Amino acid sequence: MREQTAEQGFSLIEVMVALAVSTLLMAIALPDFSALVDRAFLFNTTCEIVGDLRDQQALARAQQAYQEVRFAPFAPYYQLYSDGIGYTRYTGFDPGVMYEDGYLHLPQPTVRYNLAGNVNESGKIGLADREGDKQTIVVCLDSGELRFTHGLLGS
């Protein structure tokens, strides 16, 4: 029978085995976590754009002034513009989020709301993340109604 002392601990082999097992588990879990983070960034960016589009539409009706959301056709950002004031805010997309196929799919890079909150053109804003997940915001003619396509926001 072994005599127990007050200075017992783990052996080097036990520590190495524990590190190897934890490293293996992290290697398995990390890609799934990374994809989850990318999807969250995509969802957040989509919600932010939709919120800004709706805010600009409400401002157009309330202030009886043209409001715009101006997208950069080949860069991951957009700007809010108010008639009589100018640019009010610049917003970049979350990390890893870009336009679907690398460019904006609207006929014009600007969604412009008239005094009644209506738009003169319709189109799609397609977004994608590094994993290939996609979100599409559809801006409808006249009323400026917004629709979404993809499993993350429903169809």
Encode pLDDT of 17-65 as tens digits: 999 999 888 888 777 788 889 999 999 999 999 999 999 999 999 999 9
Residue 87, in any domain of the structure = yes
pLDDT for position 65: 92
pLDDT for position 153: 40
Query: What domain count does the chain have?
Result: 1
Residue 1, in any domain of the structure = no
Neighbouring C-beta atoms of residue 51, cutoff 10 Å: 10
> Domain holding 127: CATH number?
3.55.40.10
Which pTM value belongs to this model?
A: 0.77
Residue 47, in any domain of the structure = yes
The boundaries of the domain holding residue 54 are 12-149
Residue 103, in any domain of the structure = yes
